[in-house]
Amino acid sequence: MNILMALSQLEVTGAEVYATTVGNALTERGHQIFYVSDTLTKPTLGPVFTLKFNKRSLLRRFWHVFYLIYLIKRHHIQLVHAHSRASGWSSYIACKLTGTPMITTVHGRQPVHASRKAFHALGARAVAVCEDIAKQIVDNLGVAPSIVQVLRNGVETDKFQPMPAPANPKPVIAIIGRLSGPKGELCYRLLDEVLDLDTYQVKVVSGSPLLARFLRFQDQVEFVGYVDDIPALMSQCDLVIGAGRVAVESLLCGRPVFAVGEAKAIGLVTEQNLAEALASNFGDIGPSDLVIDFAALQGQLVSALASKRVPETIRQRIQDEYGLPRIISGLESIYQDAVVETLRREMPIIMYHRFIEQDNEKGVHGTWLPIKMFEWHLRLMKWLGYETLTFGDLADKGFIHRLQYGKKYLMITADDGYQDNLTRMLPLLEKYGYKAVVYVVTGEQYNRWDVEHPSNPDAPVALMNGAQIKALAATGHVEIGGHTLTHSRLSKLSPEQQAYEIRENKRQLEALVGYPLLSFAYPYGDMNDSAREQAIQAGYRFAVATNSGPKAIHQDPYQIRRIAIFPRTDAFGLWRKIRGNYVFRK
């Protein structure tokens, strides 16, 4: 995808570190990431554009919107990811005018006023970096809970390894954060009211210019400035004071953290208060009326310095919560939510069954299509510029691959495994350079479930035998999927029967085709929770239904919607079904 990261800042902030860290990781996954900000210090793998979001006059805001529209059009931006109020406001207007999906990561407590309540300007999704932020924007700003999701800061956890405690003759305490705004006020009060500057060696680490009021501490405090190698700095410290990302990185390094943020003082992070620390982003977010008792922090600091290491259980929890691969995958899912729901478009997955050449081959259940019409379908797909994907493609590249800029994708599936899939469908797939997924029943020789239908019995139609299944899979144009042994209605079976139908069918097919099957199709689209669980336990990564499941296919990989193709689906009917908005219009 082509994604624009929008920030507003005049100095290094946690939002910048977040945006550039996840942006670079997204670039490495194949996305095109662009950045627009007042300033940007951290290195990026994508181009950076300068826009003075901090200039907020009405005329300037019009310019911001105009320039964002230019960037969106010029670089084919598919989604804007905002990281601040100022950039978010302008991005919201630009996205509305261009129809571009947008999300916002909310990094801190939001101001509450009437205009903010009426005009959230957050986009399709609000990503909160902790639970307290999520609660605040829902409770105080009236943001709909359905668009709010907690996803923590992404941290390159492998760069922060546990370190032994230093042997300092004098305890070394580092305060890491900005010297401006609320964090600057916090730092000043810690120096002025809490820390004994004669007893401790205090380092203040910040990219902010040294403000005049801090000059009085220069003889007793080392103002380090901006530091690139944070782990090296932390290795020298007996205790780190900070919040948010600072606390996370220190804990990963095995250095004790005294969590104090703009709104809350957690104190020494322990196993007992870790949940509270995570929920508040290590003190950054809390009730608006909470007042930190700085006097009480003095005694807590003394006991905190006695802690020489971070328990491994805390480090593991931090790795699990903040690991960058997990966060990037979470963001990719949110991006897909925003794109599919905003544009009301989804990659069509169309479902065929069997193909006929003569009228006497027609059946009573509408699961057939004239092979000549199927060729018209393929011609239309080719003329419209569609390419086909299989579940093998999605397993390799992720669901988000279907949203690649400049591409039009669809998926062709065929159920049951009729012999005409080999003799009639395959030659046309080869002719037009397309791929399909064929779901095969292995415990029957013909469509017995139709022939023995209690009210509408059909004529028998031959299914593929083992040699034919193997031949079809070997062409490279067809991916084989499971479809049970006997085409049973799974919801009518016991869990044990479901497991046998699904697993034995999978075992037989894998023995034939020589590779692990990735996807399964519920016969009739009929399923329940137990059938879903049996598909998972069988080792399938995907399962397709028919008219059930979320409209966005990535939201439930075990209940993926498909669009049925019927005998009367002519070329115009197919066009309606593959435009991308069909499941939203039904």
Question: Do the first three CATH levels of 2-150 and 344-585 match, i.e. the same topology?
Answer: no
List the 265-268 sheet strands across, edge first: 221-225, 201-205, 172-176, 239-242, 257-260, 265-268
Helices 312-322 and 324-343: crossing angle in degrees, nearest 10, is: 30
**Mean pLDDT value across residues 53-79:** 95
pLDDT in tens, 125-135: 999 999 999 99
Which pLDDT band, with edges at 50, 70 and 90, does 22 fall under? very high
Instruction: State yes or no: pLDDT of 440 exceeds 90.
Output: yes
Please report the pLDDT score of residue 287 as a whole number.
66
SS3 category, 47 = coil
What CATH number has the domain spanning 2-150?
Answer: 3.40.50.2000
Using only C-alpha atoms, the chain has a radius of gyration, in whole angstroms, of 29
Distance between alpha carbon 40 and the CA centroid of its chain, in Å?
A: 24
Instruction: State yes or no: pLDDT of 385 exceeds 80.
Output: yes
Please report the pLDDT score of residue 432 as a whole number.
98
Instruction: State yes or no: pLDDT of 147 exceeds 70.
Output: yes
Please report the pLDDT score of residue 298 as a whole number.
86
DSSP label of 10: S
Q: At which residue do the structure tokens 């897909």 appear?
A: 336
- Give the count of beta carbons closer than 10 Å to the beta carbon of residue 331: 23
What does the CA dihedral 75, 78, 80, 81 come to, rounded to 10 degrees? -120
**Mean pLDDT value across residues 188-205:** 93
Q: Which two tokens stand for residue 80?
A: 């804007």
Please report the pLDDT score of residue 497 as a whole number.
98
Q: Which two tokens stand for residue 575?
A: 């066009």
Are 283 and 182 in contact, with CB atoms under 8 Å apart? no
Q: In angstroms, rounded to a whole number, what is the distance separating the alpha carbons of residues 479 and 412?
A: 10
**Mean pLDDT value across residues 20-31:** 96
Please report the pLDDT score of residue 118 as a whole number.
65
pLDDT in tens, 553-571: 999 999 999 999 999 999 9
Of 340, 346, 409, the closest CA to residue 103 belongs to 340
Q: What is the pTM of this model?
A: 0.90
Which pLDDT band, with edges at 50, 70 and 90, does 116 fall under? low
Please report the pLDDT score of residue 110 as a whole number.
79
Distance between alpha carbon 566 and the CA centroid of its chain, in Å?
A: 35
What CATH architecture is 157-315?
Answer: 3-Layer(aba) Sandwich (3.40)
Sorted by where each begins, the domain ranges of the chain are 2-150, 157-315, 344-585
Q: In angstroms, rounded to a whole number, what is the distance separating the alpha carbons of residues 257 and 317?
A: 15
Rounded mean pLDDT of the chain? 93
Instruction: State yes or no: pLDDT of 243 exceeds 70.
Output: yes
Q: At which residue do the structure tokens 């960058």 appear?
A: 324
Of 348, 342, 439, the closest CA to residue 402 belongs to 348
Lowest mean pLDDT segment, chosen from 168-177, 268-277, 280-289: 280-289
| Extended beta strands in 417-457, E state | 436-440
- CATH H superfamily, domain 344-585: Glycoside hydrolase/deacetylase (3.20.20.370)
In percent, how much of the chain has pLDDT > 70? 98
Please report the pLDDT score of residue 353 as a whole number.
98
DSSP label of 179: S
